[in-house]
Structure 1
Amino acid sequence: MDRRHLITTAALGSAAAFLPTGTANAETLASTNSAADAAALKRSMRRYLADHLRDPQTARATVPRIFDIGFNWRPPVAPLAKFDFLLAFGFGNRPPANGGDPTRVLPEPGPMNEDLADTVVKALRRARRKLPVYAQWEIARHLKAKYDMDDVVSIEPVFADDGTITYLSTDGVVAQVVALRSNRPGGVGTAGVIAFEDHIKRCVQTTRARGVSAFAPRGLSMPDTYDPKSAQAWTRDRDIYLVHDMYAQITVLRNDLIKERYPNG
Protein backbone atom coordinates (compact mmCIF):
# COMPACT_ATOMS: atom_id res chain seq x y z
CA MET A 1 0.00 0.00 0.00
CA ASP A 2 1.21 3.52 -0.80
CA ARG A 3 2.48 4.85 2.50
CA ARG A 4 0.82 8.19 1.93
CA HIS A 5 -2.63 6.68 1.49
CA LEU A 6 -3.37 5.51 5.01
CA ILE A 7 -7.08 6.04 4.53
CA THR A 8 -8.85 3.24 2.71
CA THR A 9 -9.89 4.24 -0.82
CA ALA A 10 -13.66 4.31 -1.25
CA ALA A 11 -15.50 3.62 -4.48
CA LEU A 12 -15.66 6.63 -6.77
CA GLY A 13 -19.33 6.05 -7.42
CA SER A 14 -21.62 8.86 -8.42
CA ALA A 15 -18.93 11.56 -8.18
CA ALA A 16 -17.46 10.33 -11.47
CA ALA A 17 -20.66 11.17 -13.32
CA PHE A 18 -20.23 14.87 -12.62
CA LEU A 19 -16.61 15.19 -13.78
CA PRO A 20 -15.35 15.14 -17.38
CA THR A 21 -12.65 12.70 -18.43
CA GLY A 22 -8.94 13.55 -18.56
CA THR A 23 -5.85 13.38 -16.36
CA ALA A 24 -6.49 16.64 -14.53
CA ASN A 25 -10.05 15.61 -13.79
CA ALA A 26 -8.86 12.18 -12.61
CA GLU A 27 -6.59 13.96 -10.14
CA THR A 28 -9.49 16.16 -9.02
CA LEU A 29 -11.64 13.09 -8.54
CA ALA A 30 -8.92 11.33 -6.54
CA SER A 31 -8.55 14.42 -4.34
CA THR A 32 -12.32 14.63 -3.85
CA ASN A 33 -12.45 10.95 -3.01
CA SER A 34 -9.59 11.28 -0.51
CA ALA A 35 -11.32 14.20 1.21
CA ALA A 36 -14.53 12.18 1.44
CA ASP A 37 -12.63 9.25 2.93
CA ALA A 38 -11.01 11.55 5.49
CA ALA A 39 -14.36 13.02 6.51
CA ALA A 40 -15.86 9.54 6.87
CA LEU A 41 -12.93 8.34 8.94
CA LYS A 42 -13.13 11.36 11.26
CA ARG A 43 -16.85 10.79 11.79
CA SER A 44 -16.14 7.17 12.70
CA MET A 45 -13.34 8.21 15.04
CA ARG A 46 -15.59 10.74 16.76
CA ARG A 47 -18.31 8.15 17.31
CA TYR A 48 -15.84 5.62 18.69
CA LEU A 49 -14.03 8.07 20.94
CA ALA A 50 -17.23 9.66 22.20
CA ASP A 51 -18.47 6.22 23.21
CA HIS A 52 -15.12 5.23 24.69
CA LEU A 53 -14.71 8.46 26.69
CA ARG A 54 -18.44 8.88 27.33
CA ASP A 55 -17.77 12.50 26.38
CA PRO A 56 -18.85 13.70 22.88
CA GLN A 57 -17.51 17.22 23.41
CA THR A 58 -13.98 16.08 24.21
CA ALA A 59 -14.13 13.62 21.32
CA ARG A 60 -15.01 16.43 18.90
CA ALA A 61 -12.03 18.46 20.11
CA THR A 62 -9.58 15.55 20.16
CA VAL A 63 -10.24 13.77 16.87
CA PRO A 64 -9.02 16.57 14.55
CA ARG A 65 -5.78 16.69 16.53
CA ILE A 66 -5.28 12.95 16.32
CA PHE A 67 -6.13 12.96 12.63
CA ASP A 68 -3.71 15.72 11.73
CA ILE A 69 -0.83 14.16 13.66
CA GLY A 70 -1.42 10.51 12.80
CA PHE A 71 -3.03 10.55 9.35
CA ASN A 72 -1.84 13.70 7.59
CA TRP A 73 1.75 13.47 6.35
CA ARG A 74 1.55 15.85 3.40
CA PRO A 75 2.93 19.39 3.70
CA PRO A 76 1.47 22.43 1.94
CA VAL A 77 3.18 22.93 -1.42
CA ALA A 78 3.98 25.85 -3.72
CA PRO A 79 5.78 26.27 -7.06
CA LEU A 80 9.53 26.84 -7.05
CA ALA A 81 8.96 30.31 -8.51
CA LYS A 82 7.45 31.39 -5.17
CA PHE A 83 10.58 30.76 -3.08
CA ASP A 84 13.22 33.26 -2.00
CA PHE A 85 15.54 30.57 -0.66
CA LEU A 86 15.81 26.83 -0.03
CA LEU A 87 16.00 25.45 3.50
CA ALA A 88 17.24 21.86 3.76
CA PHE A 89 16.88 19.83 6.95
CA GLY A 90 19.18 16.91 7.73
CA PHE A 91 17.98 13.42 8.56
CA GLY A 92 20.10 10.83 10.35
CA ASN A 93 23.85 10.38 9.94
CA ARG A 94 26.51 7.70 10.38
CA PRO A 95 28.79 7.16 13.42
CA PRO A 96 32.06 9.15 13.45
CA ALA A 97 34.81 7.71 11.31
CA ASN A 98 37.50 5.67 13.08
CA GLY A 99 35.33 5.24 16.16
CA GLY A 100 35.52 8.84 17.32
CA ASP A 101 33.64 10.02 20.41
CA PRO A 102 30.20 11.11 19.10
CA THR A 103 29.91 13.70 21.88
CA ARG A 104 32.99 15.49 20.56
CA VAL A 105 33.49 14.35 16.95
CA LEU A 106 31.03 15.10 14.18
CA PRO A 107 29.45 12.00 12.66
CA GLU A 108 29.63 11.12 8.99
CA PRO A 109 26.76 12.76 7.05
CA GLY A 110 25.47 9.42 5.76
CA PRO A 111 23.47 8.34 2.69
CA MET A 112 20.10 9.86 3.65
CA ASN A 113 21.68 13.30 3.71
CA GLU A 114 23.35 12.60 0.37
CA ASP A 115 19.88 11.90 -1.02
CA LEU A 116 18.73 15.22 0.44
CA ALA A 117 21.69 17.00 -1.18
CA ASP A 118 20.71 15.46 -4.51
CA THR A 119 17.19 16.80 -3.97
CA VAL A 120 18.51 20.32 -3.31
CA VAL A 121 20.41 20.23 -6.61
CA LYS A 122 17.36 18.90 -8.43
CA ALA A 123 15.28 21.77 -7.02
CA LEU A 124 17.87 24.33 -8.14
CA ARG A 125 17.96 22.89 -11.65
CA ARG A 126 14.18 22.95 -11.92
CA ALA A 127 14.03 26.50 -10.58
CA ARG A 128 16.35 27.65 -13.38
CA ARG A 129 17.50 30.55 -11.26
CA LYS A 130 19.92 31.11 -8.45
CA LEU A 131 18.38 30.56 -5.03
CA PRO A 132 20.24 30.93 -1.74
CA VAL A 133 20.59 27.57 0.00
CA TYR A 134 20.63 27.12 3.77
CA ALA A 135 21.36 23.50 4.63
CA GLN A 136 21.95 21.59 7.82
CA TRP A 137 25.64 20.74 7.92
CA GLU A 138 25.26 17.06 6.94
CA ILE A 139 23.62 18.09 3.65
CA ALA A 140 26.05 20.98 3.14
CA ARG A 141 29.00 18.57 3.36
CA HIS A 142 27.56 16.46 0.54
CA LEU A 143 26.77 19.54 -1.56
CA LYS A 144 30.39 20.63 -1.28
CA ALA A 145 31.99 17.21 -1.85
CA LYS A 146 29.67 15.95 -4.59
CA TYR A 147 28.65 19.15 -6.37
CA ASP A 148 31.43 21.57 -5.40
CA MET A 149 28.89 24.05 -4.03
CA ASP A 150 30.79 26.72 -2.14
CA ASP A 151 27.96 29.19 -1.67
CA VAL A 152 25.64 27.04 0.47
CA VAL A 153 25.16 28.38 4.00
CA SER A 154 25.86 25.47 6.34
CA ILE A 155 23.89 25.38 9.58
CA GLU A 156 26.40 23.90 12.00
CA PRO A 157 26.02 22.27 15.42
CA VAL A 158 27.23 24.18 18.46
CA PHE A 159 30.53 23.28 20.12
CA ALA A 160 30.66 24.05 23.84
CA ASP A 161 33.80 25.36 25.56
CA ASP A 162 34.60 21.83 26.75
CA GLY A 163 34.49 20.50 23.20
CA THR A 164 31.17 18.69 23.44
CA ILE A 165 28.67 19.02 20.62
CA THR A 166 25.10 20.28 20.90
CA TYR A 167 23.13 19.26 17.82
CA LEU A 168 20.41 21.61 16.64
CA SER A 169 16.79 20.53 16.71
CA THR A 170 14.51 21.14 13.74
CA ASP A 171 13.42 24.37 15.43
CA GLY A 172 17.03 25.24 16.20
CA VAL A 173 17.90 25.06 12.51
CA VAL A 174 15.05 27.43 11.65
CA ALA A 175 16.09 29.83 14.40
CA GLN A 176 19.61 30.03 12.93
CA VAL A 177 18.27 30.76 9.44
CA VAL A 178 15.86 33.41 10.74
CA ALA A 179 18.75 35.10 12.54
CA LEU A 180 20.81 35.09 9.34
CA ARG A 181 18.03 36.50 7.13
CA SER A 182 15.98 38.72 9.43
CA ASN A 183 17.86 41.93 8.62
CA ARG A 184 17.42 41.64 4.86
CA PRO A 185 15.45 44.49 3.19
CA GLY A 186 12.63 42.13 2.23
CA GLY A 187 12.64 40.24 5.49
CA VAL A 188 13.27 36.53 5.80
CA GLY A 189 11.25 35.69 2.68
CA THR A 190 9.51 32.49 1.62
CA ALA A 191 11.29 29.19 2.24
CA GLY A 192 11.22 26.19 -0.04
CA VAL A 193 11.69 23.31 2.38
CA ILE A 194 13.73 20.23 1.46
CA ALA A 195 13.49 17.36 3.94
CA PHE A 196 13.08 13.62 4.25
CA GLU A 197 9.60 12.61 3.16
CA ASP A 198 8.29 11.62 6.58
CA HIS A 199 9.95 14.65 8.20
CA ILE A 200 8.94 17.39 5.79
CA LYS A 201 5.45 18.14 7.10
CA ARG A 202 6.89 18.90 10.54
CA CYS A 203 9.75 20.90 9.01
CA VAL A 204 7.27 23.14 7.19
CA GLN A 205 5.15 23.50 10.33
CA THR A 206 8.20 24.30 12.47
CA THR A 207 9.43 26.89 9.96
CA ARG A 208 6.01 28.54 9.92
CA ALA A 209 5.90 28.53 13.72
CA ARG A 210 8.92 30.85 13.56
CA GLY A 211 6.88 33.29 11.47
CA VAL A 212 8.41 32.29 8.13
CA SER A 213 6.29 31.57 5.06
CA ALA A 214 7.23 28.01 4.08
CA PHE A 215 6.14 25.30 1.65
CA ALA A 216 7.46 22.12 0.08
CA PRO A 217 8.27 22.47 -3.63
CA ARG A 218 5.32 21.30 -5.72
CA GLY A 219 6.04 18.26 -7.88
CA LEU A 220 9.41 17.48 -6.30
CA SER A 221 9.71 14.08 -4.64
CA MET A 222 11.54 13.89 -1.32
CA PRO A 223 13.94 11.09 -0.27
CA ASP A 224 12.26 8.21 1.50
CA THR A 225 14.85 5.40 1.82
CA TYR A 226 15.75 4.75 5.44
CA ASP A 227 19.31 3.93 6.48
CA PRO A 228 19.47 0.89 8.81
CA LYS A 229 22.99 1.96 9.80
CA SER A 230 22.02 5.46 10.90
CA ALA A 231 23.62 6.62 14.14
CA GLN A 232 20.23 8.01 15.16
CA ALA A 233 18.23 4.92 16.09
CA TRP A 234 14.89 6.62 15.51
CA THR A 235 15.78 7.22 11.84
CA ARG A 236 16.59 3.60 10.96
CA ASP A 237 13.08 2.21 10.58
CA ARG A 238 9.98 3.88 9.23
CA ASP A 239 7.50 2.62 11.81
CA ILE A 240 9.72 3.84 14.67
CA TYR A 241 10.38 7.19 13.01
CA LEU A 242 6.67 7.89 12.53
CA VAL A 243 6.14 7.39 16.28
CA HIS A 244 9.09 9.71 16.94
CA ASP A 245 7.65 12.36 14.64
CA MET A 246 4.16 12.07 16.10
CA TYR A 247 5.67 12.41 19.57
CA ALA A 248 7.38 15.64 18.47
CA GLN A 249 4.16 16.97 16.94
CA ILE A 250 2.17 16.11 20.06
CA THR A 251 4.72 17.90 22.26
CA VAL A 252 4.34 21.08 20.21
CA LEU A 253 0.54 20.78 20.22
CA ARG A 254 0.48 20.23 23.99
CA ASN A 255 2.53 23.35 24.61
CA ASP A 256 0.47 25.44 22.20
CA LEU A 257 -2.83 24.34 23.75
CA ILE A 258 -1.66 25.18 27.25
CA LYS A 259 -0.37 28.61 26.17
CA GLU A 260 -3.60 29.37 24.36
CA ARG A 261 -5.90 28.37 27.18
CA TYR A 262 -3.74 29.50 30.10
CA PRO A 263 -1.58 32.36 28.79
CA ASN A 264 -0.72 33.47 32.33
CA GLY A 265 0.43 30.02 33.43
Structure 2
Amino acid sequence: MGQPDPWHGLRRYTDARVGQGRAGVSQTTREWLAFQLDHARARDAIWQAVDFAPLQQRIEALVDGPGCCQLSSACADRASYLQRPDLGRQLSSASGQQLEQLAKQHKDATESPFDLAIVVADGLSAKAIECNAWPMLQHLLSQLQADAQSWHLAPISLVQQGRVAVGDEIGQRLQADAVLLLVGERPGLSSPDSLGLYLTWHPRVGCTDERRNCISNVRPQGLDYRQAALRALYLLSEARRRRLSGVELKEQAEQAAPQALGSNFLLAGKTKS
Protein backbone atom coordinates (compact mmCIF):
# COMPACT_ATOMS: atom_id res chain seq x y z
CA MET A 1 0.00 0.00 0.00
CA GLY A 2 1.35 3.43 -0.90
CA GLN A 3 2.62 5.74 1.82
CA PRO A 4 0.93 9.17 2.20
CA ASP A 5 3.08 12.07 1.03
CA PRO A 6 3.10 15.36 2.99
CA TRP A 7 3.60 17.23 -0.31
CA HIS A 8 0.31 15.93 -1.72
CA GLY A 9 -1.51 19.18 -0.82
CA LEU A 10 0.53 21.08 -3.41
CA ARG A 11 -1.37 19.33 -6.17
CA ARG A 12 -4.31 21.62 -5.51
CA TYR A 13 -2.27 24.44 -7.03
CA THR A 14 -0.53 22.85 -10.01
CA ASP A 15 -0.88 20.16 -12.67
CA ALA A 16 2.81 19.36 -12.26
CA ARG A 17 3.69 15.92 -10.96
CA VAL A 18 4.34 16.71 -7.31
CA GLY A 19 3.29 14.93 -4.13
CA GLN A 20 2.65 11.61 -5.84
CA GLY A 21 3.41 9.36 -2.92
CA ARG A 22 5.28 6.07 -3.16
CA ALA A 23 5.00 2.34 -2.76
CA GLY A 24 8.32 1.24 -1.26
CA VAL A 25 10.94 2.87 -3.49
CA SER A 26 8.63 3.09 -6.50
CA GLN A 27 5.68 5.13 -7.72
CA THR A 28 2.23 3.97 -6.82
CA THR A 29 0.30 2.00 -9.45
CA ARG A 30 -2.27 4.78 -9.62
CA GLU A 31 0.34 7.43 -10.47
CA TRP A 32 2.11 5.16 -12.97
CA LEU A 33 -1.15 4.52 -14.82
CA ALA A 34 -1.94 8.26 -14.79
CA PHE A 35 1.48 8.95 -16.34
CA GLN A 36 0.85 6.39 -19.08
CA LEU A 37 -2.55 7.94 -19.84
CA ASP A 38 -1.14 11.47 -20.08
CA HIS A 39 1.70 10.26 -22.29
CA ALA A 40 -0.79 8.55 -24.62
CA ARG A 41 -2.88 11.74 -24.82
CA ALA A 42 0.21 13.77 -25.74
CA ARG A 43 1.13 11.29 -28.49
CA ASP A 44 -2.44 11.30 -29.82
CA ALA A 45 -2.43 15.10 -29.93
CA ILE A 46 0.67 15.04 -32.13
CA TRP A 47 -0.47 12.35 -34.55
CA GLN A 48 -4.16 13.18 -34.83
CA ALA A 49 -5.26 15.03 -37.96
CA VAL A 50 -7.37 18.18 -37.64
CA ASP A 51 -10.76 18.33 -39.31
CA PHE A 52 -10.97 22.00 -40.32
CA ALA A 53 -14.46 21.70 -41.84
CA PRO A 54 -16.41 22.59 -38.64
CA LEU A 55 -14.14 25.59 -38.01
CA GLN A 56 -14.53 26.76 -41.60
CA GLN A 57 -18.32 26.53 -41.34
CA ARG A 58 -18.35 28.62 -38.18
CA ILE A 59 -16.08 31.28 -39.68
CA GLU A 60 -18.09 31.52 -42.88
CA ALA A 61 -21.32 31.79 -40.88
CA LEU A 62 -20.13 35.04 -39.28
CA VAL A 63 -21.97 38.12 -40.51
CA ASP A 64 -19.44 40.55 -42.01
CA GLY A 65 -16.72 38.01 -41.27
CA PRO A 66 -13.49 37.77 -43.25
CA GLY A 67 -14.27 34.33 -44.70
CA CYS A 68 -11.58 31.67 -44.91
CA CYS A 69 -9.60 29.39 -47.18
CA GLN A 70 -8.10 25.94 -46.60
CA LEU A 71 -4.41 25.50 -47.39
CA SER A 72 -1.71 22.90 -46.85
CA SER A 73 2.02 22.95 -46.28
CA ALA A 74 4.57 21.15 -48.45
CA CYS A 75 4.27 18.06 -46.19
CA ALA A 76 2.46 15.16 -47.84
CA ASP A 77 1.42 13.48 -44.57
CA ARG A 78 1.83 13.60 -40.80
CA ALA A 79 4.96 11.45 -40.77
CA SER A 80 6.79 13.80 -43.14
CA TYR A 81 5.56 16.75 -41.09
CA LEU A 82 7.20 15.36 -37.96
CA GLN A 83 10.40 14.34 -39.76
CA ARG A 84 10.81 17.42 -41.99
CA PRO A 85 10.12 20.64 -40.07
CA ASP A 86 11.38 22.65 -43.05
CA LEU A 87 8.51 21.43 -45.24
CA GLY A 88 5.97 22.45 -42.61
CA ARG A 89 7.23 26.03 -42.93
CA GLN A 90 6.41 26.17 -46.65
CA LEU A 91 3.11 26.19 -48.50
CA SER A 92 2.41 23.57 -51.12
CA SER A 93 2.61 24.87 -54.68
CA ALA A 94 -1.18 24.58 -55.07
CA SER A 95 -1.78 26.59 -51.88
CA GLY A 96 0.73 29.22 -52.97
CA GLN A 97 -1.07 29.64 -56.29
CA GLN A 98 -4.41 29.80 -54.46
CA LEU A 99 -3.21 32.70 -52.32
CA GLU A 100 -1.69 34.54 -55.27
CA GLN A 101 -5.01 34.34 -57.08
CA LEU A 102 -6.82 35.59 -53.98
CA ALA A 103 -4.38 38.51 -53.63
CA LYS A 104 -4.81 39.41 -57.32
CA GLN A 105 -8.60 39.38 -57.02
CA HIS A 106 -8.40 41.60 -53.96
CA LYS A 107 -6.07 44.06 -55.69
CA ASP A 108 -8.36 44.24 -58.71
CA ALA A 109 -11.35 44.90 -56.45
CA THR A 110 -9.81 47.48 -54.13
CA GLU A 111 -6.61 49.44 -53.61
CA SER A 112 -6.81 48.98 -49.82
CA PRO A 113 -4.20 46.44 -48.61
CA PHE A 114 -4.81 43.88 -45.90
CA ASP A 115 -3.86 45.09 -42.42
CA LEU A 116 -3.82 41.62 -40.92
CA ALA A 117 -3.76 38.01 -42.05
CA ILE A 118 -5.00 35.53 -39.43
CA VAL A 119 -3.73 31.97 -39.85
CA VAL A 120 -4.79 28.79 -38.02
CA ALA A 121 -2.31 25.92 -38.32
CA ASP A 122 -2.62 22.49 -36.75
CA GLY A 123 0.98 22.50 -35.50
CA LEU A 124 1.82 19.79 -32.99
CA SER A 125 -1.58 19.47 -31.35
CA ALA A 126 -4.81 18.79 -33.20
CA LYS A 127 -6.64 18.89 -29.88
CA ALA A 128 -5.51 22.47 -29.26
CA ILE A 129 -7.10 23.56 -32.53
CA GLU A 130 -10.30 21.58 -32.14
CA CYS A 131 -10.86 22.73 -28.55
CA ASN A 132 -9.53 26.29 -28.53
CA ALA A 133 -9.28 27.80 -32.03
CA TRP A 134 -12.93 28.76 -32.42
CA PRO A 135 -13.50 30.36 -28.97
CA MET A 136 -10.16 32.17 -29.37
CA LEU A 137 -11.19 33.48 -32.79
CA GLN A 138 -14.55 34.63 -31.43
CA HIS A 139 -12.88 36.77 -28.76
CA LEU A 140 -10.18 37.98 -31.11
CA LEU A 141 -12.52 39.04 -33.91
CA SER A 142 -14.79 40.71 -31.36
CA GLN A 143 -11.87 42.73 -29.98
CA LEU A 144 -10.69 43.68 -33.47
CA GLN A 145 -14.17 44.90 -34.39
CA ALA A 146 -14.48 46.88 -31.16
CA ASP A 147 -11.07 48.51 -31.56
CA ALA A 148 -11.19 52.20 -32.43
CA GLN A 149 -8.71 51.54 -35.22
CA SER A 150 -10.11 49.75 -38.24
CA TRP A 151 -8.57 46.43 -39.26
CA HIS A 152 -8.89 45.23 -42.85
CA LEU A 153 -8.68 41.45 -42.46
CA ALA A 154 -7.62 38.97 -45.11
CA PRO A 155 -9.61 35.71 -45.34
CA ILE A 156 -8.56 33.46 -42.45
CA SER A 157 -6.15 30.74 -43.63
CA LEU A 158 -6.57 27.20 -42.28
CA VAL A 159 -3.36 25.24 -42.81
CA GLN A 160 -2.89 21.48 -42.62
CA GLN A 161 0.57 20.29 -41.50
CA GLY A 162 1.69 23.85 -40.80
CA ARG A 163 4.40 25.25 -38.54
CA VAL A 164 4.83 28.79 -37.23
CA ALA A 165 6.89 30.14 -40.14
CA VAL A 166 4.25 29.16 -42.71
CA GLY A 167 2.44 32.32 -41.60
CA ASP A 168 5.27 34.43 -43.00
CA GLU A 169 4.75 33.08 -46.51
CA ILE A 170 0.99 33.54 -46.23
CA GLY A 171 1.38 37.14 -45.08
CA GLN A 172 3.86 37.86 -47.86
CA ARG A 173 1.70 36.37 -50.60
CA LEU A 174 -1.33 38.31 -49.34
CA GLN A 175 0.79 41.47 -48.96
CA ALA A 176 -0.54 41.92 -45.43
CA ASP A 177 1.05 44.33 -42.97
CA ALA A 178 0.98 41.74 -40.18
CA VAL A 179 0.24 38.08 -39.63
CA LEU A 180 -1.20 36.51 -36.47
CA LEU A 181 -0.90 32.73 -36.39
CA LEU A 182 -2.81 30.41 -34.05
CA VAL A 183 -1.07 27.05 -33.75
CA GLY A 184 -1.20 23.88 -31.67
CA GLU A 185 1.80 23.91 -29.34
CA ARG A 186 4.00 20.93 -28.53
CA PRO A 187 1.92 18.96 -25.98
CA GLY A 188 3.12 18.35 -22.46
CA LEU A 189 1.99 15.61 -20.10
CA SER A 190 -0.40 18.03 -18.38
CA SER A 191 -1.29 20.20 -21.38
CA PRO A 192 -2.01 18.35 -24.64
CA ASP A 193 -4.34 21.14 -25.82
CA SER A 194 -2.23 24.29 -25.51
CA LEU A 195 -2.74 26.94 -28.21
CA GLY A 196 -0.06 29.47 -29.13
CA LEU A 197 -0.37 32.85 -30.92
CA TYR A 198 2.50 34.28 -32.96
CA LEU A 199 2.55 37.85 -34.30
CA THR A 200 4.93 39.07 -37.03
CA TRP A 201 4.99 42.58 -38.49
CA HIS A 202 5.84 42.80 -42.20
CA PRO A 203 5.97 39.01 -42.64
CA ARG A 204 8.40 37.67 -45.21
CA VAL A 205 9.81 34.24 -46.00
CA GLY A 206 12.99 33.83 -43.97
CA CYS A 207 11.86 35.78 -40.89
CA THR A 208 13.57 34.51 -37.76
CA ASP A 209 12.10 34.03 -34.31
CA GLU A 210 13.28 37.33 -32.82
CA ARG A 211 10.87 39.02 -35.25
CA ARG A 212 7.87 37.40 -33.56
CA ASN A 213 5.82 38.00 -30.42
CA CYS A 214 4.35 34.94 -28.75
CA ILE A 215 1.33 34.42 -26.48
CA SER A 216 1.34 30.83 -25.24
CA ASN A 217 -0.72 28.35 -23.20
CA VAL A 218 -4.09 29.64 -24.36
CA ARG A 219 -6.68 27.19 -23.00
CA PRO A 220 -9.26 27.05 -20.20
CA GLN A 221 -6.65 25.78 -17.71
CA GLY A 222 -4.08 28.38 -18.81
CA LEU A 223 -4.46 31.88 -20.25
CA ASP A 224 -8.17 32.46 -20.92
CA TYR A 225 -9.44 33.54 -24.34
CA ARG A 226 -10.44 37.05 -23.34
CA GLN A 227 -7.05 37.92 -21.85
CA ALA A 228 -5.26 36.34 -24.80
CA ALA A 229 -7.36 38.41 -27.22
CA LEU A 230 -6.64 41.62 -25.29
CA ARG A 231 -2.91 40.89 -25.29
CA ALA A 232 -3.00 40.14 -29.00
CA LEU A 233 -4.85 43.39 -29.74
CA TYR A 234 -2.38 45.37 -27.63
CA LEU A 235 0.59 43.86 -29.50
CA LEU A 236 -1.08 44.32 -32.88
CA SER A 237 -1.85 47.96 -32.15
CA GLU A 238 1.70 48.62 -30.98
CA ALA A 239 3.17 46.74 -33.94
CA ARG A 240 1.16 48.86 -36.36
CA ARG A 241 2.02 52.09 -34.53
CA ARG A 242 5.75 51.34 -34.32
CA ARG A 243 5.96 49.26 -37.50
CA LEU A 244 7.88 46.44 -35.84
CA SER A 245 7.41 43.25 -33.84
CA GLY A 246 9.42 40.76 -31.83
CA VAL A 247 12.24 41.61 -29.43
CA GLU A 248 12.16 45.34 -30.14
CA LEU A 249 8.44 45.54 -29.51
CA LYS A 250 8.77 43.72 -26.20
CA GLU A 251 11.58 45.96 -25.02
CA GLN A 252 9.69 49.14 -25.88
CA ALA A 253 6.38 47.80 -24.58
CA GLU A 254 7.90 47.44 -21.12
CA GLN A 255 8.49 51.21 -21.10
CA ALA A 256 5.05 52.10 -22.45
CA ALA A 257 2.39 53.81 -20.38
CA PRO A 258 -0.80 51.87 -19.57
CA GLN A 259 -3.05 51.65 -22.60
CA ALA A 260 -6.76 52.20 -23.06
CA LEU A 261 -7.36 48.49 -22.51
CA GLY A 262 -6.61 48.99 -18.82
CA SER A 263 -2.90 48.27 -18.32
CA ASN A 264 0.22 47.00 -20.00
CA PHE A 265 -0.46 43.27 -19.97
CA LEU A 266 3.22 42.50 -20.48
CA LEU A 267 3.92 43.97 -17.04
CA ALA A 268 1.11 42.22 -15.16
CA GLY A 269 2.31 41.09 -11.74
CA LYS A 270 5.67 42.93 -11.87
CA THR A 271 6.70 45.21 -9.02
CA LYS A 272 9.46 47.77 -8.82
CA SER A 273 12.49 46.85 -6.73
- TM-score over 0.5 (shorter chain): no
Name the one with the larger strand percent. 2
Short-chain TM bin = under 0.3
- In the superposition, the TM-score normalised over structure 2's length comes to 0.24
Structure with bigger helix share is: 1
Which structure would you say has the larger RCO, counting Cα contacts within 8 Å and 6 or more residues apart? Answer: 1
